[in-house]
Amino acid sequence: MSLASNLMDIALIIAFVAVALAQIMAMIRLVIGPDTGDRILALDTMVVNAIGLIILLGIAQGTRIYFEASMIIAMLGFVSTVAYARFVLRGDIIE
């Protein structure tokens, strides 16, 4: 049991560190991204990574209350990506 719970803790820590590193790398691409498309893509990736971090938090605390938060972030992330892209393409979001 001790081995198993240790394994869980280690896996959780590794996952937290990896997803946080991924978030930082997406942020670097957001800053240096040479073009608008790269910046939108970096923001989209950051939203997906944020969902991953929230799920990891839910596993670490053993609760389910973070489900709604990650669902709303997933929806808002998609809508905001499409809004950014449409603004660049058409100069307007709702025509």
Partner 1 sequence: MMLEMIATFFVAFWLLVGAIFSLVGSIGLLKFNDSMTRLHAPTKVGTVGVGALLVASMIHSYAFGDGWSIHELLIMAFLFVTAPISANFIAKVVIHKKSCETPPPPTKDETWSTLDIPEADREYTKTEKA
The residue ranges that bind partner 1 (CB under 8 A) are 1, 4-5, 7-8, 10-12, 14-15, 17-19, 21-23, 25-26, 28-29, 34-38, 40-42, 44-45, 48-49, 51-52, 55-56, 58-59, 62, 64, 67, 70-71, 74-75, 78, 81-82, 85-86, 88-89
DSSP state of 23: H
Dig out the tokens for 94 from the structure.
Answer: 């709702």
Whether the CB-CB separation of 69 and 40 falls below 8 Å is answered with no
Residue 55 or 94 with smaller CB distance to partner 1:
55
* DSSP run (H or E) holding 14: helix 2-32
